[in-house]
A and B are shown apart, each in its own frame.
Chain A
């Protein structure tokens, strides 16, 4: 399956919607078996590793990602996205990879992300932080 360039944005927005409602089967279906994942908190290989990582994250945090900017490649195989992420700590996470959070803390950041796509799946995701994290302690 490949994604028609004209439908790329809708396809991607559905991914973010699934991610935001923590629908692991739905957003996990976007990942290739051997996805190469370079997030700011983890570098991982494989769908199962990425999902295990997000399971752990969700046990500590509520994470919401909003799409600010979207650029889809005409070939339908790449997406560049500007994302606004809000983290809300549900409980203390002193060892959080990007910095400790306490229950009730929120953290916001803007990131640029590059997605490579093949066969209807993300094969590589790479994110770069654009704005410093804004922290709000309760």
Chain B
């Protein structure tokens, strides 16, 4: 399986909220850094973070493009967050039920063998679409 194929399977697991499968993609000491200042260390911290996000919103990720070179994969991804409940403390901004938030992000995934060891994401574009609009 290529790094690109593995990444597509990883995102498929993410979209399915298959946390057990998702965990298998991370090195035990994986580090996730998001450009907004969020930094998570370890599999459990990442799974917990995504679990909370998905308890408040339905997040779907679409891969715009991905390619790997050596031990790093670069990806452009589009995320849609659909609030399934009012989420005043949502990680990105306060959301009301039905609001949608879109992010276009550039992400680097460093990997060793089949495990992601470091993930870093920066937001290129963002768009908020309130339910009332």
Contact = CB atoms under 8 A, between A and B. Distances in A.
Interface of A: 38, 69-75, 78, 80, 82, 111-114, 126-132
Interface residue tally on B, bucketed by range: 10 to 19
Nearest to B107: A112
Contacts of A129: 35, 122
A111 B122 contact: yes
Contacts of B69: 70-74
A113 B124 CA distance: 9
Contact of A69 (B37, B68, B72, B76): B72
B93 to A, nearest CB: 17
Nearest to A70: B69
Interface in B58-89: 65, 67-70, 72-74, 76
B10 interface: no
Given A82-B108, A130-B122, A71 B35 contact: no
B122 A80 contact: no
Nearest to B35: A130
A80 B106 contact: yes
A75 B69 CA distance: 11
A84 to B, nearest CB: 13
A112 B106 contact: yes
B106 A114 contact: yes
B72 A112 contact: no
B35 A80 contact: no
Nearest to A113: B106
7 contacts: A71-B73, A72-B69, A78-B67, A128-B35, A128-B105, A130-B122, A131-B35
Contact of B108 (A80, A126, A131): A80
B15 interface: no
Contacts of A73: 67, 69
A126 B35 contact: no
Given A73-B69, A128-B106, 6 more contacts: A70-B69, A80-B74, A113-B106, A127-B124, A128-B124, A129-B122
Contacts of A131: 35
B97 interface: no
B17 interface: no
A132 B33 CA distance: 13
A80 B67 contact: yes
Interface in B29-76: 35, 37, 65, 67-70, 72-74, 76
